[in-house]
Chains A and B, each alone.
Chain A
Amino acid sequence: MIFIIAWRNIWRNKSRSGVLIASIITGICAGIILTGIMMGMYGQRQDDAIRNEVSNFQIHTKEFKTDNDPRFEIQNSESVLNIISEYKEVRALSGRVIAHGMILTAGSSAGVKINGVVPQDEANTRGLNAKITEGSYLERDKHNQILVGEKLAHKMQMKIKSRVVLTFEDIHDNVISASFRVCGFFKTTNPSFDETVVYVSKKNLAELLQTKNEVHEIAVLLKNKEDAESVISRTKKQFPDLLVEDWREIAPEIGLMIDMGAGISKVVIVLILFALAFGIINTMLMAMLERTYEIGMMIALGMNKAKLFMLVVLETVMLVMAGTPFGVLFSYLAVSFFYKHGIDLGQYSKGLESFGMSHIIHPQVSLSQYMQILFLVFITALISSLFPARKALKVDPAESIKK
């Protein structure tokens, strides 16, 4: 009966309840869509980082990670590569020879990370061949070819076939300078990556560094990111002397950015719900004020305080929950639509690119995020109901039925 009274009470003042339900729908839509945009933005950034930059995980020697010294190669790297390539979860992997040095043109210079790669492996892990904007991709075993980021090329006024000099230290601490010809420019979604990384042939760089036929870095791309934890754990067990790190450990700034994005969206949702709570409290307090007489009568007849409290809480929660399915439905439809078609934030593209983000956002909200938002809405309704319930409990039956 309390359930029936609470439900019917909601519809006593249809316009007032309607306005509140509309604001609940709007609030939920705003919260979910905003979460979708944030998660879409940062999710894409995460996917881009994995796909274009760091892969799901990387393997180095512990010493190389600390010193970046080319002497610290992964021993028996061919065997390590072979074993990992047998993992069924692995989509692609790439062994890289790495040097840190300078790139010089006739007029300028810049610090770069030089990646010596097998072109096909790098195409499979980073999709580098698909990111060529001008010129051509590296050719296997072709000497002295270099692939540079478009941003670095523009900054240093390079052209295709320009000659550049790379300077770095070999494993005997000798400074090596070698001349390369630019074969192509690449562009990823992260301009700072494009500005600081260059690619040459692995064989070419290994010869210049005078390393054995080993690599400094193995980057592994998985078929599903959900498998990362188990594959990393297995790899760690299999190669206990090597440093196996997931993308968050390799690029903590990206992880931090994603966590911040998720945190900000949560704060915004809490603020939306906080504002909503005032609307709920106001509506319910008005309802209690109007029904003082009725509440007094129910107490006089013998309705105890626990039941009265329950009645007000139920009414508030039901009022909020009456709008919630529509809010969830509308936001689900909106998120699905924009996930498919994308939201073009073209006018902010430069700013977004500087953070390594695409200007086309595909919002995405996971089931757990929907559940979290629903839980927060429920808690908001519950907390909001306490004030009107307290007001109802304070009604003096004798005074209220005097009217």
Chain B
Amino acid sequence: MKTVIEAHNLSKVFNPETIPVRAINGVDLFVEQGEFTALVGPSGSGKTTLLNMLGGLYKPTTGNILINNVDITKLSENQLIEFRLHNIGFVFQSYNLIPVLSAKENVEFIMLLQKISKEKRETRVANLLREVGLSDKMEVRPSQLSGGQQQRVAVARALASKPQFILADEPTANLDSKSATNLLDIMDKLNRDENITFLFSTHDQRVIERARRVITLVDGRIESDVVIETLEAVT
């Protein structure tokens, strides 16, 4: 199996010069291609901070993050933006679609940033929206979609850039039970059929039950890391 994320001795201290808050403390983490991993833990345990660091949104205070053997902690701000565009997909808690664009345009947006040709974009957008069950909502704006539908568009958008992996920060937090299940089914299918790597931060038991690896964070440290399918604790 190919390792897509490799983090060594990660730590993150906020406000180091005033009131230091150690959000992440000495985390080592390896995520392999095709994993469906949940990052769990109580509020304030550092799940979102770790996810943001892995996504290149935060610079770690110490440690390194290698994605496909590229140390993203050494990249400049502009290089990181470019790296994220081509390697990392994001699904945020609050859907985060561009409200003035239709579902189709939202998915197409990221491919436009990647300068993909119109023909390829249109084919891929149609395929992705079909995969998430929104072929009939292509021209609809986010405000006319339900929360679950918006989050499915967000998943399609995350996949549009053909990333190495998708980081999803509490993707089901704002969804009702039916929409959450529907979204999880789609992500599970994408993981199994297309070997797409997902890393979630979540409190949601439904997500945890679907995950095939569960990493528990407490006070910025990994307390446990369990591979569910084999029921094997690796740490």
Contact = CB atoms under 8 A, between A and B. Distances in A.
B165 interface: no
Contact of B96 (A9, A293, A303): A293
B105 interface: yes
B161 A302 contact: yes
B81 A398 contact: no
A299 B81 contact: yes
A12 B108 CA distance: 21
Given A301-B113, A303-B113, A398 B85 contact: no
Contacts of B114: 302
Which of B55, B81, B108, B169 is most buried by chain A, counting CB atoms within 10 A of its CB? B81
A302 B96 contact: no
Interface residues of A, number: 23
A2 to B, nearest CB: 8
Interface in A261-319: 293-294, 297-305, 307
Given A12-B99, A12-B100, A398-B52, A300 B105 contact: no
A401 B81 contact: no
A305 to B, nearest CB: 7
Contacts of A237: none
A8 interface: yes
B96 A297 contact: yes
Interface of B: 48, 52, 55, 57-58, 78, 81-82, 84-86, 90, 92, 94, 96, 98-101, 105, 108-110, 112-114, 157, 161, 169
Contacts of A307: 113
Given A1-B101, A1-B112, A303-B81, 8 more contacts: A12-B100, A293-B96, A294-B99, A300-B90, A302-B86, A304-B81, A305-B78, A401-B96
B84 A4 contact: no
Nearest to B56: A300
B57 A300 contact: yes
A367 B15 CA distance: 59
A304 B82 contact: yes
A402 interface: yes
A387 B161 CA distance: 31
Given A300-B57, A301-B90, A301-B110, A402 B96 contact: no
Contacts of A398: 52, 57-58
B158 to A, nearest CB: 9
Nearest to B95: A297
B84 A402 contact: no
Nearest to A5: B100
Contacts of B109: 1, 301
B161 to A, nearest CB: 7
A303 B98 CA distance: 13
